[in-house]
Structure 1
């Protein structure tokens, strides 16, 4: 009996083992879940949700994979540059903020298995408003609990564009809008189409310019005659002409007959030049290589815009007499490569663009919370860790994904850095084009990449028993329990300024940067040390800070650590014959007025030759006059106004237009109509286009004559949170950079100083019309092919149905408009719009470049 039972038990165990074996084999051989086919979309459900400054939106997961997504055992991560309101999440998941812009989705117990074709919706409420596609979350990836170190990228997010404008339910609040061709037509209507031959032939507008009846026929065989002082410039001009003629022009120091002559003229200012074109010669006079270089750039803009496209054997250059010099010595572009990286090739291309339009400073923002992009050889962790983003929860091997960079290491634009050799090449390239590169070592906030890199260095050396070496460059107090959150939602991104090791680190980096400049033969006069957006709460629970406060009777609070830090940084630079540059906060001091904390210009630093980039003139924010207050107080100010000079801001408020808009919307007209010495004058609308009450500037400080002397220049800024490709970089920069170039180089225009409002407006409209036509007819077509071609933004077409016909226009006359009437989108081969369209039905229009790129399509019904 017992024997029979035992035999049955053994039999059952064998059968069970076989079943388990088959099951395990089947499970192990089952196809893996295809994360790429888990489709992600996002839609805005309601702005002003519950009549508050917040919006409701939804992430939709659609399982397009043949396998099911199980009920548990996974997490999904994504980036989102907003703050989700706690407790607002709807759906069978938890949604947790981790750090920075990284969030985590975890299925709850009631999450249902997602079979193929199933959909899951995750709704939540976010502060503020959602007005364009940049507000969407991005960079979704899946991590299985069993493989916690491996991230699998999901499909790119598809943003659901509203089908119609959504008016706001709260008066005066922002609302979602779409491209309105009729409204664009009315906006473009006041800009006349000016014949090309009536436009000035040099851009930016010279100080003194006259056209003559003469013209010069230029070929590759016409030599460049130059003083030996200008051989490097002659070499560059010869290469520029070779890009047109296919043959390098000869240059020498003597010769007769027809020629381009580069002549040294001692009495001209350092960046000034004279240019004369006759039927027999082209003469450029200058006292310095910089002046000669700018004369050469003006000569290049005299060339036909299509010369780089057609590669002619000869080009006709109109006769001119020009005497020219810049308005500002500091004509800058700030490029952020920390948030998203741009290749060395793309940086060189930007330098070509800047050089053509006589911009002479590249402010190079190479480190921030999300990346460190320049190799510092003695501190390899800075780029080994700080130059790489990928899935991580501890930042031990790399930084976490940000701005949609995804889970995989070494992928652009999240990962990347310039080797020492790369950076030296960039410096040499800029040097040859008379562009100074100002490196920015962003501190003490926005420093997470450096902090985490030095943490890894510390751990490595401690494990090797090298405590002294480990602590030499440590950037945080290991016992600091302070709690804070930065504007970008980081809770561990501020250097502890009480640590002596911080200054060891800064001196090492500064010296390594100086060495690279010296090897490149490039000028280095200043280093920018950032100084912006240090959040409340830092350092208050740091033992080393508290010890320092107790030891030095000059200190009364943690706030004093700010001034302590920049005094020490300033000394580091002064010893090396450099001056300190920073963001506006470097020049500010916190004080109390009637019990309330206020910021005032810091009297302690005013005589230290500190240069500050002042960005904050946010309308209605209370700091509209900050740039003028600091200049009047004695600080050297670079106008970097968010309302007019932030190139990362969206062009307009339509939902399809990418870019941020927290400070303003910035189209090409914003930098063009900026008045450096009185930007109140033509600031008439808020960022959403509503009339701005005059009270905004009531009581605001005006720029004094003393202060005017402290405005050293203007800067356009490209922050890179949304700049995920080279094409997007060029789209956001161009054509805005041309407005910056005009205002930075050219004399103060008549309309800016005219006191009569009506006359001023009329003069402005004339100036805008010339500028818009120059861009549309000459400069943007030139950039289709110059330096390999630039992907500038093509504005949407304005169009309206009138008397049974479709009439069209465009913001920049001269750009080609193409159209279709068969329902297809216009292409390079579609008909060119030359007169009102009489065909009925659906009419589609778009601007198309000479290279075949198309702008956004607009559609009308001609019934």
Structure 2
């Protein structure tokens, strides 16, 4: 698909020269002239011809950014779509519609500046929000009467203007499908995107963006201080324990292994038994009694000096292994440390049939350990893109391996509702499904270029048959952007049944992880709102009471708002009693799931509350007649209505025995909710809210740090067009999570998101954390929002190794100072390269009850090497010492190991290689 652009440079150039320097709406002539091809086909005849093709019309659409610096203020950019008509169908003015997803608003005709103005009408085209609701990032492109047809074999370049910028391939539009009215059948089109990373107009957000684009030479300089250091046993562990003493001896673990455990530790013993069975040949037995000669002893020691979740681990050449914990969680974390001390080669051997070792040598060691924070978490959003219970379970196990103990489960979003609620089936029969349905009678419209993945049921025919086909014939590795994610790869549909959710709770509980469900309201609630409108329409004629029972919107509300994501109909109305009946029902059913799982703790319920758009140019509910008719709300302004909503939602949550948490937007207006735990997130440097978390903690509120600048794992690792993810708050890599200083974020706030230095004096007037406030910081978590997390592999790519920095900073009681960070970071990357990531190469989730498919390995991000050629010598390095580097001088036909400076000529390619043989992206050095 990419090669379809190779022949259009003349067209592109002539289009811009002819008029796009002063007008973004010039028509470029088709490469093949239409000629006399007869009358246009009707929708019916076109549809008939398409039905003979299982794959639908062969039409390819390619997006290319042209100039992000077209507006000095970054308000819009110039881009282009190329339509290549490889089908036998003539695209004329008689009525076709191309729908697609695009996270940037396309400017209206006439918008722009003195140099560039949008003028699609001159090209015989119009574009508007797609579907009857005209809501979200769903667009439709349609011809006007003056549209010059694109014949079979023809191409058309469509220049256009869109809001802000597009500097990474994730920004590209996708999910293209065509409809020929009056037919209602949609056919998938082939989408791709091309970028020139060397062109600053395609990689700068606007002229003031000074963040450098990634190059091998830049990486070489960044990696230069990160040379290899030898690891002692303590340095191989993530998170690093509080106290470690090593001896010179070793203990051989193998053969017939006995695990002796105290009453109350049966689950931990069985977990350890399963884990050892995965890596060692021989037998493992557990005994609930004191048994002389047992190799491993698990002991509860609540009177010990560890503190909650703390433990000690002793490996003695004569006495064997003893793990003592302040509680069962502490014992469990001691088990995880023991697992990390097992040599990597044993895990590697266990992946081969019959390859398990009969024994392993463990170091003589004494560890005493306790966590810094009681809340060490990760948030996973499954509303934008659904992830299966198997994917979630695997993730939970590897999180537990690194002593993460909270799983914030974002179950609802504008784009999907993911939990079955008995009594409200519409939430999942309608709100958990996406597809082509312009009137949204049966499902939501597509979002973020996905519907029901590559499967059926979404009324989009002709999708690729597999991910390789969706990726243009190349099997995706998900080590960076893959064009398959523009071609419907991504589970827009899906939900957890009550049984599946209970399974997840049981699995998490077994690993001492508390699951914190999020129901995001009153914004980000379109899936729920539209589902309840669907329910209303279903019952309005036959059972008006049932129809209105859980309705969330006032049908006569004239309020106008547009959310950050482009939605205009995604608010729950705070003035309806049915809104609170809905929330009470949902919360009761969630509580019932926990009650059904022995040991599962519902400690917190997240009530959402984020991103209601600014009232400077939006109205939330002032146009609602039902708000004006309600005595409680008739005199309230919009901010007061939001407070009213959470005053009523709060007791619904606390009635379960859980505390309420939520995004700190909830309390921006000064709202007081007893026991509320804010998650402050909007700390973007120089946006004004950098010290909110410290204000809350100093006021006596419990706080969970959720800072976007360092903890949002869905943000792209760095500025590279092939690096997936957004970047609105920052570029976030593993150095951002590791170097995060929870008690002094200003020490790391050295540059703003556009790369400009920030003077330390700029923070002089910001609130600092007091000693009393520090005690109110419950902890921190890494957050993975899912706009671009379209496969299980991408869950792992975005999360690892970033979450390991979160695990280290949340557990390790020795928080470095800003001055100590460079040395600490050097040590950490060595731990990653020599120990932690090789362990993940061969990681197998502990599967006590045989719930998961047998699989090994985590698709963590493999770094691109740094490299440069000096005087004909290739010099290369890598961020994680211990990783192999390979290079090619024959355009990638073969790669050979790089062992040191070596003579090269011509084009040189480099890549890094993990211990399990997986390779990262290839970079061209010169």
TM-score, normalised to structure 1, is: 0.90
Q: Which residue, out of 213, 228, 231, partners 1:193?
A: 228
Check 1:246–1:501 CA distance in 2 against 1; reply closer, same or farther (3 A cut).
Answer: farther
Counterparts of 1:168-179 in structure 2 under 5 Å?
173-174=208-209, 178-179=213-214
> Aligned pair 1:48/2:69, yes or no?
yes
Q: Which residue, out of 452, 467, 478, partners 2:555?
A: 478
1:339 and 1:170 mapped to 2: Cα distance?
Answer: 25
Deviations 1:728-785 (A, max 9, x none): 1111111100000000000133435xxxxxxx2xx32221111100101111111112
Counterparts of 1:56-95 in structure 2 under 5 Å?
56-87=78-109, 88-90=118-120, 91-95=123-127
The secondary structure found in structure 1 opposite 2:439 is: coil
Question: Which residue does 1:14 correspond to in 2?
Answer: none
Question: Which residue does 1:142 correspond to in 2?
Answer: 178
TM superposition shift of 1:643: 0.5
Check 1:405–1:30 CA distance in 2 against 1; reply closer, same or farther (3 A cut).
Answer: closer
1:108 and 1:682 mapped to 2: Cα distance?
Answer: 53
Question: Which residue does 1:802 correspond to in 2?
Answer: 870
Q: Which residue, out of 741, 754, 774, partners 1:675?
A: 741
The secondary structure found in structure 2 opposite 1:463 is: coil
1:725 and 1:322 mapped to 2: Cα distance?
Answer: 38
Check 1:805–1:285 CA distance in 2 against 1; reply closer, same or farther (3 A cut).
Answer: same
> Aligned pair 1:523/2:566, yes or no?
no
Question: Which residue does 1:8 correspond to in 2?
Answer: none
Q: Which residue, out of 671, 676, 700, partners 1:634?
A: 700
Deviations 1:554-577 (A, max 9, x none): x54232111111111112223332
Counterparts of 1:159-308 in structure 2 under 5 Å?
159-166=194-201, 173-174=208-209, 178-197=213-232, 200-252=235-287, 253-257=289-293, 259-268=295-304, 269-280=307-318, 281-308=320-347
Question: Which residue does 1:6 correspond to in 2?
Answer: none
Q: Which residue, out of 621, 635, 640, partners 1:539?
A: 621
Deviations 1:43-78 (A, max 9, x none): 111012143412111111111224433432210000
1:293 and 1:815 mapped to 2: Cα distance?
Answer: 30
> Aligned pair 1:355/2:435, yes or no?
no
Aligned length: 811
The secondary structure found in structure 2 opposite 1:316 is: strand
2:137 and 2:805 mapped to 1: Cα distance?
Answer: 33
2:755 and 2:625 mapped to 1: Cα distance?
Answer: 50
Question: Which residue does 1:792 correspond to in 2?
Answer: 860
Coordinate RMSD, CA, aligned:
2.3
Check 1:196–1:634 CA distance in 2 against 1; reply closer, same or farther (3 A cut).
Answer: closer
Check 1:330–1:171 CA distance in 2 against 1; reply closer, same or farther (3 A cut).
Answer: closer
1:164 and 1:176 mapped to 2: Cα distance?
Answer: 14
1:56 and 1:520 mapped to 2: Cα distance?
Answer: 54
Q: Which residue, out of 691, 707, 714, partners 1:625?
A: 691
2:560 and 2:247 mapped to 1: Cα distance?
Answer: 69
Q: Which residue, out of 382, 388, 395, partners 1:337?
A: 382
Deviations 1:489-509 (A, max 9, x none): 111000111101111111111
**1:176 touches 1:655 (CA, 8 Å); kept in 2?**
no
Check 1:84–1:743 CA distance in 2 against 1; reply closer, same or farther (3 A cut).
Answer: same
Question: Which residue does 1:694 correspond to in 2?
Answer: 760
> Aligned pair 1:723/2:789, yes or no?
yes
TM superposition shift of 1:439: 0.5
Question: Which residue does 1:5 correspond to in 2?
Answer: none
TM superposition shift of 1:329: 0.2
**1:624 touches 1:697 (CA, 8 Å); kept in 2?**
no
Check 1:109–1:778 CA distance in 2 against 1; reply closer, same or farther (3 A cut).
Answer: same
The secondary structure found in structure 2 opposite 1:648 is: coil
TM superposition shift of 1:110: 1.9
Deviations 1:455-490 (A, max 9, x none): 1111212222x1112111111112211111111111
> Aligned pair 1:819/2:819, yes or no?
no
The farther-off stretch of 69-78 and 185-194 is 69-78
**2:165 touches 2:205 (CA, 8 Å); kept in 1?**
no
Question: Which residue does 1:851 correspond to in 2?
Answer: 916
> Aligned pair 1:129/2:129, yes or no?
no
2:766 and 2:716 mapped to 1: Cα distance?
Answer: 28
The secondary structure found in structure 1 opposite 2:339 is: helix
The secondary structure found in structure 2 opposite 1:294 is: helix
Check 1:377–1:29 CA distance in 2 against 1; reply closer, same or farther (3 A cut).
Answer: closer
In the alignment, structure 1 segments of 5+ residues that lack a partner are 1-19, 590-600, 753-759
2:322 and 2:899 mapped to 1: Cα distance?
Answer: 40
Question: Which residue does 1:765 correspond to in 2?
Answer: 822
1:645 and 1:29 mapped to 2: Cα distance?
Answer: 52
Question: Which residue does 1:387 correspond to in 2?
Answer: 432
> Aligned pair 1:558/2:638, yes or no?
yes
Bigger Cα Rg: 1
Deviations 1:305-343 (A, max 9, x none): 232221222211111110001100001101000001111
Check 1:551–1:683 CA distance in 2 against 1; reply closer, same or farther (3 A cut).
Answer: closer
Check 1:299–1:455 CA distance in 2 against 1; reply closer, same or farther (3 A cut).
Answer: same
**2:169 touches 2:724 (CA, 8 Å); kept in 1?**
yes
Question: Which residue does 1:510 correspond to in 2?
Answer: 587
The farther-off stretch of 785-794 and 380-389 is 785-794
Question: Which residue does 1:13 correspond to in 2?
Answer: none
TM superposition shift of 1:226: 1.4
The farther-off stretch of 662-671 and 578-587 is 578-587
Check 1:825–1:414 CA distance in 2 against 1; reply closer, same or farther (3 A cut).
Answer: farther
Q: Which residue, out of 645, 649, 661, partners 1:581?
A: 661
**2:718 touches 2:733 (CA, 8 Å); kept in 1?**
yes
Question: Which residue does 1:420 correspond to in 2?
Answer: 498
The secondary structure found in structure 1 opposite 2:817 is: helix
Deviations 1:538-591 (A, max 9, x none): 11111111123x5569x54232111111111112223332221110012221xx
**1:178 touches 1:656 (CA, 8 Å); kept in 2?**
no
The secondary structure found in structure 2 opposite 1:301 is: helix
Deviations 1:765-822 (A, max 9, x none): 2211111001011111111121221100011100122343111111111112122222
Question: Which residue does 2:369 correspond to in 1?
Answer: 324
> Aligned pair 1:120/2:156, yes or no?
yes
> Aligned pair 1:104/2:140, yes or no?
yes
The secondary structure found in structure 2 opposite 1:322 is: strand
Question: Which residue does 2:468 correspond to in 1?
Answer: none
**1:58 touches 1:123 (CA, 8 Å); kept in 2?**
yes
